[in-house]
C-alpha cells in the first residue's frame, strides 16, 4: 500500500511551495516514483498558454514556469526529467546521494557497483540514465562536486576519499601561498578547507601535516627536543604507518628499521634510547594503550628472562597472561567453551601461529606442564591438546562438551596395544577421543573414507596397498582391544559431526547419551552394522 507523503497530497501551488528536497526523497522511498511537472500543472489547472506565459517562452518549459511560481529550485529540477541529472550534479546533491549509498554499502564512491546503485531507490529514480554509465557518474561526482558549498564534509570523508582530500589540501596550499613554512591555526581558518582541516585535527597543524605526509613541516617546525615528547613519537609512528599504508594494528608485525625508513629526520630507534632505553614493544604499549598490545606480539621477541626468571622457573603471571590472550585469539571472545575446554584444545600449532612457540616448547617442559604450572588451580583437569589429533576430534569434543558435563581428564591418552608376533618394537595405537561422562567412559573413533577405501588418496603413494593394509590392521587391533576390555566405543564418520547425528548414531550402536545407558550389541551383529555403514572395512573381520 502506497504511503501518502507531503508531495503526494499537494492540491494547490501554495502546497507545492512548502515542499523541499527532503520531501522529494521521502516520497521516493515511500512510493518508488515521482510525479512530473506536466502532471502537476494539469492537477493545478494550468493551461499550456499559462505555462508559456510564466516561462516567457514559446515552448512548454515547465521548469521555468514553476520556478516563476516560486517553487523550490531543487524540487522543480527533481520533478523535471530533462534537467534533473545536470542540476543534481552541479549543486552537489548527486554527490551527497552517492556518499550516502557508499556509507550504506561500507565502501568508497570508487568502489560502488552498478548493482549497488540500482538497489538504491533514490538514485534509481533521480539518476536512472547515469546508472548505466557508473564510471562516468562517479568521475563526474568526484570532479564536479563543489565542496566549498557543502556545509559539512560527508562522514569518514578523509578515510573514504583520500585522493580527493589530498587534492583539496594541495589546492589550499596554493591558495594560501604555503611553501615550507606553515602559518598558524588562525591563518588556516581563513580558508574554507582549512576550517574543516582544523576541525578534524583539533587545531593541530602538526597532526594535519603528518597526516598528509608533509616532510617539510618536520624539519621546520619540530623543536629540538620534540623526540622527547611521547605525543610527538606517537605522531611519527602513525605517520610512518600511513606512509606504508598500514593500520596501527599492524605495528607488532613491523621492525624498527622498517618504520625508520619512512622518516627523513630523526628515528624511532633513537627515541627508544632517549626513553631510558625502553624496548620498542614496551614503548608502543605505552603510546597506544587503546590497542592493548602485548610484548610477545612483537616480532622483536620478548626480553631476556621474560618467560623464565634468573633461576629458570616459569614466570607464571606472564605465561598466564599470554595463554589467556592466545585462547581469545583462537576461540574468540564469545566462545561457549569453558576455560578448561579451551586450554585442553590448545595445540603446538596455535602457539606457533601467534608467535608463542617458545612458551610451548621450553626445554624440559611440555605444553601440559606449562599449562599446569600457569594454572595450578586447574591441575587435575588440564590435559594437552596433543591428545586430540585432528580437527574432527576437536569438533566432536566441542559438540559433546556443549551438551554434557564430564569430569577427570576429558581427552584420551595413548592406548597401549601390543603388536602381533614378528614386530620387534612395542607399538601403541591411540583413540581419537575419550570422554569421561558422569556415569560412563566412552571412546569415540572418527572414521574417514580411507578406513574402507583402498583407492583413497591417503594411500595413493604406497606400493601394493601397503598403507591400506596397515590401516586395516590398526582398525582390527583397536576393535579387538575394545572388545576384550569391554570398552564402550562409538564409531562415527566425519559427515556425522553434529549433535543430532552423534546422538542418533550412538543410539544405533547401543548407547543412549542422554540417559547414559549402554546396551551391548552382539559382536557379529555389531561388525555387520559397522561394515554396512562404511565405518570399518570388511577386511577387519576376515
Q: Are strands 488-492 and 511-512 parallel, antiparallel or unpaired?
A: unpaired
11-26 pLDDT, tens per residue?
888 888 888 888 888 8
- 25: which 3 cell numbers? 526523497
Strand, coil or helix: what is 406?
strand
Per-residue model confidence (pLDDT) at position 217: 47
pLDDT at 147 over 60: yes
Mean pLDDT of the 121-145 span: 70
Mean pLDDT of the 315-326 span: 88
314-to-301, 338, 350, 359, 373 alpha-carbon distances in Å: 17, 25, 20, 9, 8
Per-residue model confidence (pLDDT) at position 392: 73
What is the b/e burial string over 480-507, where b = at least 16 CB atoms within 10 angstroms of the residue's CB? ebbeeeeebbbbbbeebbeeeebbebbe
Cα 110 to Cα 162: distance, rounded to the nearest angstrom: 11
Mean pLDDT of the 204-209 span: 79
**Does residue 373 or residue 392 have the better pLDDT?**
373
Per-residue model confidence (pLDDT) at position 492: 92
Cα 163 to Cα 518: distance, rounded to the nearest angstrom: 69
Asked if residue 233 lies in contact with residue 284, where contact means CB atoms within 8 angstroms, the answer is no
User: Which residue has 582541516 as its cell numbers?
Assistant: 197
Query: For 107, left (φ over 0), alpha (ψ -120 to 50), or beta?
Result: beta
Per-residue model confidence (pLDDT) at position 424: 40
Per-residue model confidence (pLDDT) at position 504: 92
Counting residues of the chain whose pLDDT is more than 70, the rounded percentage is 79
pLDDT bin (cut points 50, 70, 90) of residue 329 is confident
Strand order in the sheet with 488-492: 433-436, 441-446, 488-492
Counting residues of the chain whose pLDDT is more than 90, the rounded percentage is 3
**Does residue 345 or residue 489 have the better pLDDT?**
489
φ/ψ of 287, rounded to 5, equals -80, -25
Mean pLDDT of the 297-313 span: 81
Mean pLDDT of the 344-370 span: 77
Q: What is the CA radius of gyration of the chain?
A: 36
89-120 pLDDT, tens per residue?
888 888 888 888 888 888 777 677 778 888 88
61-71 pLDDT, tens per residue?
888 888 888 88
φ/ψ of 248, rounded to 5, equals -65, -30
CB atoms under 10 Å from CB of 85, counted, come to 18
Per-residue model confidence (pLDDT) at position 35: 84
By C-alpha distance, which of 222, 138, 237, 131 is closest to 180? 222
305-to-298, 318, 362, 416 alpha-carbon distances in Å: 16, 11, 13, 39
Per-residue model confidence (pLDDT) at position 416: 46
pLDDT at 423 over 60: no
Per-residue model confidence (pLDDT) at position 464: 47
User: Which residue has 564402550 as its cell numbers?
Assistant: 488
pTM: 0.39
Amino acid at each position: 500500500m502506497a504511503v501518502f507523503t507531503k508531495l503526494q497530497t499537494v492540491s494547490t501551488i501554495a502546497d507545492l511551495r512548502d515542499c523541499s528536497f527532503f520531501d522529494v526523497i521521502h516520497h521516493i522511498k515511500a512510493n518508488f516514483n515521482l510525479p512530473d511537472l506536466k502532471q502537476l500543472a494539469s492537477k493545478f489547472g494550468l493551461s499550456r498558454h499559462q505555462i508559456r506565459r510564466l516561462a516567457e517562452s514559446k515552448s512548454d518549459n515547465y521548469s521555468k514556469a514553476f520556478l516563476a511560481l516560486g517553487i523550490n529550485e531543487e524540487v522543480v529540477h527533481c520533478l523535471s526529467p530533462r534537467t534533473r541529472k545536470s542540476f543534481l550534479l552541479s549543486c552537489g546533491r548527486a554527490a551527497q546521494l552517492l556518499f550516502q549509498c557508499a556509507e550504506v554499502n561500507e565502501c568508497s564512491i570508487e568502489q560502488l557497483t552498478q548493482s549497488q546503485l540500482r538497489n538504491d531507490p533514490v538514485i534509481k529514480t533521480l539518476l536512472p540514465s547515469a546508472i548505466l554509465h557508473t564510471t562516468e557518474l562517479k568521475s563526474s561526482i568526484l570532479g564536479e562536486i563543489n565542496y566549498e558549498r557543502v556545509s559539512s564534509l560527508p562522514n569518514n570523508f578523509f578515510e573514504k576519499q583520500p585522493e580527493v582530500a589530498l587534492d583539496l589540501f594541495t589546492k589550499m596550499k596554493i591558495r594560501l601561498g604555503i611553501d615550507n613554512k606553515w602559518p598558524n591555526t588562525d591563518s588556516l581558518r581563513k580558508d574554507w578547507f582549512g576550517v574543516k582541516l582544523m576541525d578534524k585535527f583539533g587545531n593541530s597543524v602538526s597532526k594535519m601535516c603528518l597526516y598528509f605526509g608533509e616532510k617539510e613541516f618536520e624539519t621546520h617546525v619540530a623543536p629540538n627536543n620534540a623526540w622527547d615528547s611521547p605525543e610527538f613519537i606517537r605522531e611519527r609512528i602513525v605517520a610512518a604507518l600511513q606512509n606504508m599504508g598500514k593500520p596501527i594494528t599492524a605495528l607488532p608485525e613491523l621492525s624498527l628499521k622498517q618504520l625508520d625508513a619512512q622518516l627523513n629526520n630523526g628515528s624511532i630507534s633513537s627515541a627508544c634510547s632517549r626513553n631510558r632505553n625502553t624496548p620498542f614493544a614496551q614503548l608502543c604499549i605505552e603510546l597506544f594503550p587503546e590497542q592493548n598490545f602485548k610484548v610477545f606480539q612483537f616480532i622483536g621477541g620478548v626480553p631476556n628472562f621474560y618467560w623464565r626468571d634468573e633461576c629458570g622457573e616459569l614466570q607464571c603471571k606472564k605465561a598466564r597472561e599470554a595463554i589467556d590472550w592466545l585462547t581469545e585469539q583462537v576461540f574468540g571472545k564469545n566462545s561457549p567453551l569453558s576455560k578448561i575446554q579451551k586450554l585442553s584444545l590448545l595445540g603446538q600449532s596455535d602457539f606457533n601461529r601467534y608467535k608463542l612457540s617458545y612458551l610451548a616448547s621450553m626445554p624440559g617442559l611440555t605444553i601440559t606442564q606449562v599449562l599446569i604450572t600457569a594454572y595450578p588451580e586447574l591441575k587435575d583437569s588440564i590435559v594437552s591438546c596433543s591428545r586430540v589429533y585432528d580437527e574432527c576430534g576437536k569438533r566432536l569434543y566441542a559438540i559433546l562438551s556443549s551438551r554434557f558435563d564430564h569430569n577427570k581428564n576429558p581427552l584420551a591418552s595413548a592406548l597401549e596395544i601390543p603388536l602381533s608376533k614378528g614386530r620387534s618394537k612395542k607399538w601403541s595405537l591411540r583413540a581419537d577421543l575419550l570422554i569421561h561422562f558422569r556415569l560412563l567412559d566412552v571412546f569415540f573413533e572418527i572414521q574417514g573414507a580411507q578406513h574402507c577405501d583402498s583407492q583413497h588418496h591417503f594411500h595413493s603413494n604406497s606400493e601394493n596397498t601397503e598403507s591400506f593394509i596397515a590401516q586395516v590392521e590398526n582398525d582390527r587391533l583397536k576393535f579387538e582391544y575394545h572388545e576384550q576390555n569391554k570398552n564402550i566405543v562409538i564409531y562415527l564418520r566425519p559427515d556425522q559431526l553434529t549433535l543430532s547425528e552423534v546422538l542418533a548414531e550412538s543410539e544405533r550402536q547401543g548407547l543412549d547419551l542422554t540417559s547414559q545407558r549402554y546396551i551391548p550389541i552382539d559382536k557379529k551383529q555389531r561388525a555387520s552394522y559397522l561394515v554396512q555403514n562404511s565405518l570399518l572395512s570388511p577386511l577387519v573381520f576376515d
